[in-house]
Each structure stands twice: as C-alpha cells, then as structure tokens.
Structure 1
Amino acid sequence: MSSSNKSLTNKLVVSLMFTNNLGEEYVCLTCSKPCKSAHGYINLITHLRINHPTYLEDAGRAAKDRNSLRLPVIDEASRSIFRWCEWVVMNRLPLSSVERKMTRKNASLTPIAKNTLKRYLMRIFESVEARVAEELPSTFGIVLDGCTFSGRHYIAIFAVFNDPKMCRGTPAQDDPDYRLLHSTHSCRSFNRPLRNAKSRSAPCMTTWRSYRALRTRV
C-alpha cells in the first residue's frame, strides 16, 4: 500500500467510491449494492474492506483521474518531483545540483537523479507547449517585454487575443466611469486613441507557426 493511499481519509474514499442517493442511503460504484450509513462512514468502509480489498488503490486512482470533490489529492512522489523542479528552475540551478552530496543530505525531498529531473522538466515543457498551442486561435497578437536583472537581459513573449469566455462582463457603455469619460471628452478626441491602438497592433498579428519561429530566434 503506497503512502498516498494511506493519506486518503474515509470521507474522501466514500465520496469517490459511493454515490449518496437520499439521506443515509449510499450506492457502491463498484458493485451497485445499496448501503446505509446513519452515523459516520464505518458501514461503508466495512463494505469496501469485505467486498473490495483493493478499494484504497481504486480510490487513489479515482482521486487522480477525476477528483470528484476537486480537492488537491497529490501523491508523495508527484509532490516531491514538483518540488525538485521548482527548486532548480526558480533558483536557476544546474540539473546536477540534485545529485550533490550536501543537497541530498540537507533536503527533505526524496532523492532524484539528474536525468530523471531533466525528463520531467521536458515533460512539463511539452505539456505546457501543447496547451498553449491548443488554446491559441489561428491569429493573435505578440507583445514583447524586456527587463534586466543582475546584469542579464530577459525578454518575455506574450500572446494576446480576444477570448469570448473572458469578455462576458458588463458592456463598457453601461459602466458609469465610461459615461463620465465620454461626457468629459468629445467623441472625436475620445475615439482617436482607439484608432491609433488598432493601427499599432495590426502588424503584430501572426500565426502560431510564426510565433514558434520567433521564440526560437529569441
């Protein structure tokens, strides 16, 4: 039995392995057998222990796959790997630092090899890259933002686009601040900045392929 399965509480196990029909009546998702639980989860856990000996492993997989309660149920191995990745990336450390004797002596994390860390970092990169490619529309704008930190120059690349899901708020014309601004300035002077902004952003429209090429050159 893994440590991650041991950390599952009875409440979480019941929520993953049963459905609550009415009040005290529950139905097992594995065998569809109805069970009653007047006080606590003893009867339900007993049913699982007798009829489904691997219920902890099943609940652990269910928590990972769908997590019906939307709780952060993360096994210890995944948490340790994430902490190593975070430590190395945020502090700009060499990958070999995870194999240093003093690092392993003083770190409370499970030891990890340099090649293993590199493999997981690449998986994270590929996962994020695939998600960005999936969410970006066919055309979008590119915004470049540069800064200097400790004598080293950095450049950030932002992809901007209109997302209908994020633009469902109150129309600007209905906002009192908009009406106040509109009444203060003439329509001609008020609309001029918008026209200039559109003309400046037009050359930034590109495709995902162009974005990847730009990122590679940078």
Structure 2
Amino acid sequence: MSSFFFTDCSDGQFSCKQCGKVRKQTPGTGYTNLISHLAAKHPGYTETYDESQHTHGQSLEAHGFVDQRTMEIFKWMEWIVARNHALSEVDNPLTRSLAAVKPISSKTLMRYMRHVVAKVGARIAVDMNGQFGLMFDGWTSGTTHFVTIYGIFTKDGILSQVLLSISPAEYGQSAEAYLEMIDAVLELYNKDSAVIMFIIADNCATNQVIATRLGVPLIGCASHRFNLAVCRYLEDYKPLIDEVQTLCIQLRYPNNAAELARHTHYKPLKSNATRWSSTYQMLARYVKIRDAINMVAAVKDLLPRPSIHRQVVQLVNKLEALDSVCVKLQSEERTLADCLRAPS
C-alpha cells in the first residue's frame, strides 16, 4: 500500500504521490505516519486503493491493514488469552497504567470476543468443508474432567488441526456422553457426524465404542500404545522401583531434605503411577545423586545394595532409549506410516 501512494526517497523519507508532501517514516516502525497522512489529507484513500485493485481481487483488508481501534482491541484480547488472565484484568488500574494501548472495559472486551468467536467459527466451518476427522483427548483438573476436540482436515493440500472445543465432561465419560458432546460441537459448525472419516484417540474401550457407533476407524494414539507397553514392561521391575520410591519419599521429608541439600542442589523425585516417564526420571535422578544420598545418615538403611543399584543403572539405560522413542512418536513430522512400520 505504501508503494501505491508514496515514493520511497530513501533515508526514511516518503513522498506522497497525491500531493507531493514528504513524510518521514523510520525503518522498522511500520507505516503509521504514512497512513496518518492519508487519513488526514486524503480521506477517500481506501476507496481509491480498493478501486485500483478491484481487477486483481485485492482490497485494503486483504493487505492486513486495520484501523487503530481494531488493533487495540486485538492487543487486549491477545493479552488476556495468551497470558491466561481473567477478563476483569483489563479493568485493573495498574494494568491500564502500564498498557501502551487505549484502555477497554471487560464488558466491551467480552462483546468483541463474542463477535470474534462467531467469525472464527464461521471461518472454521468453511475450511472444514467436506469430510474430516476428529481428534480428542481428556484431562482432569481437580474434580473436573475436560475434553478437547480437534478437527483434522486438509486445505489446499496442507494438513490442518483446528481446535473445535474445550469443555468439561458434564454428563460423564461414557461413550454416550462423548457422542452427545461430539454432536453438540459439530452443530456449532453446521456439520454432521455422517461426514466424519475417522477419529484419533487413546486406545481405550470407550473410544472403540465411539468409533463403532460412528461407523469410522479408530486411529489409536501410537504414543499411548507405547506407554501401555512400557508400563507392562516395568511390572517385572516393580520391587526394584518400589525400593527406590520408598527411599525418595523419605528423602523428601524436611530433615532429610535439608541434609541432602548440603551435598547436592538436586532434589529427589517421586514416581507418578499414571506416567512411566516419571518412573524413569525418578530412577535417573537417584542414580545421579546416589553419592550425595549416601551422606544422609537417616536413610542409609534404605539405600539399595550395590547389586540392586547396578540393576537400577541398567534399567535407567533401557528407559533412556525408550524415552527417546516416546519423544519421536510425538514429533510433528512423524506420520502414521512411520508408526505402523515401528515394531510392536
């Protein structure tokens, strides 16, 4: 746009092609001064530009230019969403005093956010035209279980993964409840479950029932299958793992932790029963600080014998290799074909 209305005279100087006035615009600071000149001296510049670009299907909006107020509202939205703040944050006097953009009330912000939601939803509905797949997963925070649903489709030959919803599982975690949630989410985008081609989810009985009800294939999470396999593998090492876990729990008590801190800045870790990676991290940390642990008199009786310690070291080496596989399975570059070729 600047090249359409202005001639670059170098050294940050631009000459207006309409009136010949020279305006200064420091490189790397955008084109605020130039646009301000057009708005003040040539009010119909947007119509002029759009008319000139009409034959090419180009408009001012197509070039990403927006008015100052729209940009300010966007910045407030970005601040709230990216920083996970409450909407009331925009009403905070301290926040307003530190902000470089014009203040906005939480009510106004909420109104604009609703407009944006409608616009974004409409755009997603257009992009998802035709058949698509769904990917979903859940997690629990406190006593509330949340479910995330993504739409998987291609646009112009490029794979797209679009977040469709994040909502609490208010009606339980049964297959029927999930199917109702899927229907409700698809309805927001004017879609029907009949056009779903596949679903991607964990390899549990509930998700298998969902796939059967929808009449589509279930692409089980390769990382989830791998985690289940590793957990079964670790069952043979349960006595060894429990021994290290007991030691680490004792080391986390205040007196023992204080004594350990005198010999190392590393802290012992606890294993999480739901994630084998936490078991690997606990064992690896134990191996790393074993010499320091040996200096804590209160837990010497709990320290694994040398023969057990050697087994722990061997297990850590194996888990290190397995962890690298887990990381690669979650890579964005990994394809389904890669996972299917991987040994079971």
Highest Rg: 1 or 2? 2
- Work out which structure has the larger RCO, using CA pairs closer than 8 Å and 6 or more positions apart in sequence: 1
TM-score, length-scaled by structure 2: 0.32
TM-score, length-scaled by structure 1: 0.48
